């Protein structure tokens, strides 16, 4: 069952920074930060929303004006509320796995169920699923299966290093995934498809991995305390320590970071993921109970879209780029523990926030 909701942006009151008008789609976000400044007996001075010793947050001259929608989708197979595996895109469909082990498929253009694809996929009961080498892979009855071009499930013989964890990134050389233990630490793993060797680096906790001309960028975010976020550049994952399959010492964890270059390291902000578009990087930033889309230059965050004007939150998200269509899987411990409770899908200029089971309140 699916329902759609529109997002409100408040009254179109014109605000100014000096003599320069502020984009009215930022009004609700401005009001939120104005209240915080009033509580601190401070004054909001636009276009600055927040200025700290480490960074500042400013408003862009104009927002991206993404078309936004919120939808609610329920499990069509049982009363269990949330997917049992992070959703993926496959054949222009969102593929979500629900208890008791069946796939629900939704076309991403109109979010209608693809019953024909569901019939093809649901010949077994699955426990997990991934997209690997462009193929849909499922775990059923302790065995990995791949959906072949003739729409049949065949045993998958290649290595799946994730265990039951989501995939963070893949290219021709590596499969990348993470391990997250919150404030107790975490790791990001690079599995070499050809050699079957795994290399690792400390990361608490990796949420977005992307390939750039300089190497592999690993962005991590943690909600402990006031929140933190960092990005490391790994020129060659083969320079990282080889994973021996057992917990490493603190010295080894520290040494693993010596093979990377820190691109930024921030405290007091969380970055849940991001998108690359128009030759720019935009981050899904959570700052003082508001989640918005920002760019980052030096220590300045520029808000380019207020998104849904709420405190969208997650603990162990994952960002995946499907040939220009971005999916950010969102869990939330207080709602579904480690299971996906929502996801964001950005296709061109259209952003969809999909909530599983019910419209999740975010203040």
Contacts of 326 (CB under 8 A, 6+ apart): 275, 319, 320, 344, 345, 346, 347
Spatial CA neighbour of 240 closest among 218, 269, 224: 218
Q: Is the pLDDT of residue 355 over 50?
A: yes
Give residue 10's pLDDT: 43
Spatial CA neighbour of 274 closest among 250, 293, 257: 293
Answer yes or no: are the C-beta atoms of 66 and 88 closer than 8 Å: no
- To the nearest whole number, what is the mean pLDDT of the chain? 92
Helix (H) or strand (E) holding 273, with range, is strand 270-277
pLDDT digit string (tens) for 112-160?
A: 999 999 999 999 999 999 999 999 999 999 999 999 999 999 999 999 9
Categorize the per-residue pLDDT at 7 as very low, low, confident or very high, splitting at 50, 70 and 90: very low
Contacts of 308 (CB under 8 A, 6+ apart): 7, 68, 70, 291, 353, 362
Q: Is the pLDDT of residue 210 over 50?
A: yes
Q: Is the pLDDT of residue 1 over 80?
A: no
- How many whole angstroms from its chain centre is CA 149? 29
Q: Is the pLDDT of residue 5 over 60?
A: no
User: 255 or 343: whose pLDDT is higher?
Assistant: 343
Q: Is the pLDDT of residue 254 over 70?
A: no
Categorize the per-residue pLDDT at 302 as very low, low, confident or very high, splitting at 50, 70 and 90: very high
Answer yes or no: are the C-beta atoms of 126 and 138 closer than 8 Å: yes
Q: Percentage of the chain surpassing pLDDT 90?
A: 81
Q: Is the pLDDT of residue 251 over 60?
A: no
SS3 112: coil
pLDDT digit string (tens) for 8-41?
A: 444 467 888 888 899 999 999 999 999 988 888 8
Q: Is the pLDDT of residue 69 over 80?
A: yes
Using DSSP bridges, classify how beta strands 325-332 and 48-51 pair: parallel, antiparallel or unpaired: unpaired
The backbone region for 244, taken as left when phi is positive above 0, alpha when psi lies in -120 to 50, beta otherwise, is alpha
Q: CATH classification of 62-344, choosing from 2.130.10, 1.10.3470, 1.10.260, 2.60.40?
A: 2.130.10
pLDDT digit string (tens) for 78-115?
A: 999 999 999 999 999 999 999 999 999 999 999 999 99
Q: Is the pLDDT of residue 252 over 70?
A: no
Q: Percentage of the chain surpassing pLDDT 70?
A: 94
């Amino acid at each position: 069952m699916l329902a759609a909701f529109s997002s409100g942006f408040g009254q179109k009151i014109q605000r100014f920074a000096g003599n320069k008008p502020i984009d009215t789609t930022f009004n609700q976000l401005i009001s939120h930060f104005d209240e915080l400044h009033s509580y601190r007996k401070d004054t909001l001075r636009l276009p600055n929303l927040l200025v700290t010793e480490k960074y500042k947050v400013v408003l862009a001259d104009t927002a991206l004006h993404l078309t936004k929608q919120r939808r609610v989708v329920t499990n069509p197979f049982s009363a269990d509320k949330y997917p049992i595996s992070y959703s993926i895109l496959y054949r222009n469909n969102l593929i979500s796995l629900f208890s008791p082990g069946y796939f629900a498929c939704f076309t991403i253009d109109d979010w209608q169920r693809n019953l024909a694809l569901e019939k093809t996929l649901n010949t077994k009961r699955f426990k997990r699923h991934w997209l690997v080498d462009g193929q849909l892979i499922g775990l059923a009855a302790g065995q990995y299966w791949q959906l072949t071009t003739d729409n049949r499930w065949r045993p998958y013989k290649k290595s799946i290093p994730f265990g039951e964890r989501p995939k963070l990134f893949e290219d021709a050389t590596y499969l990348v995934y993470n391990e997250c233990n919150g404030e107790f630490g975490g790791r990001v793993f690079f599995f070499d498809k050809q050699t079957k060797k795994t290399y690792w680096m400390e990361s608490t906790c990796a949420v977005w991995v992307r390939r750039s001309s300089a190497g592999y960028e690993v962005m991590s975010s943690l909600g402990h305390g006031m929140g933190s976020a960092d990005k490391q550049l790994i020129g060659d994952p083969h320079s990282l320590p080889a994973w021996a399959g057992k917990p490493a010492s603190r010295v080894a964890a520290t040494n693993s970071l010596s093979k990377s270059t820190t691109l930024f390291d921030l405290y007091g902000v969380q970055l849940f993921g991001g998108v690359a578009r128009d030759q720019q990087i935009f981050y899904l930033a959570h700052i003082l109970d508001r989640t918005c889309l920002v760019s980052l230059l030096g220590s300045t965050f520029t808000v380019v879209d207020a998104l849904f004007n709420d405190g969208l939150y997650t603990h162990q998200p994952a960002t995946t780029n499907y040939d220009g269509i971005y999916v950010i899987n969102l869990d939330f411990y207080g709602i579904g523990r480690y299971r996906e409770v929502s996801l964001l899908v950005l296709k061109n200029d259209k952003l969809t926030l999909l909530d599983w089971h019910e419209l999740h309140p975010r203040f």
